[in-house]
Amino acid sequence: MAFDPNLLIDLQQMFQYQFMQHAFEAGTLVAIIAGIVGYFVVLRRSSFAAHSLSHIGFAGAAGAVLMGISPVFGLLLFTSVGGIGMTILGPRASHRDVQIGTVLAFMLGLGVLFISLYTGYATEAYSILFGEILGISVMDVVITAIAALAILVIVAIVYRPLLFASLDEDVAEAKGLHMHMLGIIFMLLVAFATSIAVQVVGVLLIFSLMVTPAAIAQRLANQPWRGILISIIVSLTVTWMGLFIAFYEPYPVSFFITTIVFVLYLLTRFAYPLIRPQTIHKTGAHQTH
């Protein structure tokens, strides 16, 4: 397939293929969800939890493949159980690293067992690890849509309490918010979001959609709703661009996504401060915290 300078023709070409349509549908849903949930992940400094949940999902996906069902079911089940387990083991978000690590190691061990039991092709394991959006089925798109809708509804309901608890745990607790319940809801959101995002970028590259776009957004916006909006825009842009380029180039979609998002991150990290509009850095206020 040859790239045409006229993008409309390119898009027409691309969408003649059903696998590209499915990839764009699922990719769009995943990008929106990852952008939203990722914002909370970054705000709560829970990227290790997100990373671990996706790896726990690896065991679930491998188990599902072993049983001959779609990996996304295994992902959803394992990440949900894993997320709840982590929260129960360590009730306060700030010191949960050890508990997460403990659960993570055990689950990865299970994943290794399932992979070794599975006698089929190694490509299955490969696609779980690095994503295989171009091979996504209608069924997977439907499941993705349902999970995405569930996440949107939950976020809409818990938006303010979750934001408050993420920003100021102690005061939120004193105000009567149930930290434990919010912690579990948050982990379930991450579980659902990673489960569907794994299809696009795979277990190992989950950060590129769940963390990096939100990290970019937090540098650019200092109001949560704006941050979430930017986070969504960034993850959508990189997902679409990745799919678009991968249609013409013989390299994996997830490689393009991770690379583009990394370049954007570097730009916001190093180029943006130079052109940053207002004089936020007052001279007197340089005490660090």
Q: Please report, as ranges, the residues that interact with another protein according to CB under 8 A.
A: 43, 45, 156-161, 163-165, 167-168, 170-177, 218-219, 221-225, 227, 280-282, 284-289
Tokens of 268: 């916001």
Distance of CA 102 to the CA centre of its chain: 22
CB of 206 to another protein, least distance (A): 20
What is the per-residue burial (b if ≥16 Cβ within 10 Å, else e) of 272-283? eeeeeeeeeeee
Q: 75 and 57 in contact (C-beta within 8 Å)?
A: yes
Report the alpha-carbon distance of residue 208 to residue 41 in Å, rounded: 13
Q: At what angle do helices 212-220 and 253-266 cross, to 10 degrees?
A: 20
CB of 49 to another protein, least distance (A): 16
SS3 of the chain: helix, strand, coil, percent, to 5: 80, 0, 20
Residue with tokens 């349509």: 21
Closer to another protein at the Cβ: 110 or 221?
221
CB of 100 to another protein, least distance (A): 19
CB of 90 to another protein, least distance (A): 18
Closer to another protein at the Cβ: 43 or 84?
43
CB of 174 to another protein, least distance (A): 5
Closer to another protein at the Cβ: 5 or 176?
176
Closer to another protein at the Cβ: 274 or 280?
280
Closer to another protein at the Cβ: 45 or 121?
45
| Secondary structure element (H or E) that encloses residue 127, with its range | helix 122-130
**Count of CB atoms situated within 10 Å of the CB of 268:** 18
Closer to another protein at the Cβ: 6 or 287?
287
Report the alpha-carbon distance of residue 20 to residue 9 in Å, rounded: 15
Closer to another protein at the Cβ: 43 or 77?
43
Which residues lie closer than 8 Å to 259 by C-beta, 6 or more apart? none
Of 251, 247, 254, the closest CA to residue 10 belongs to 247
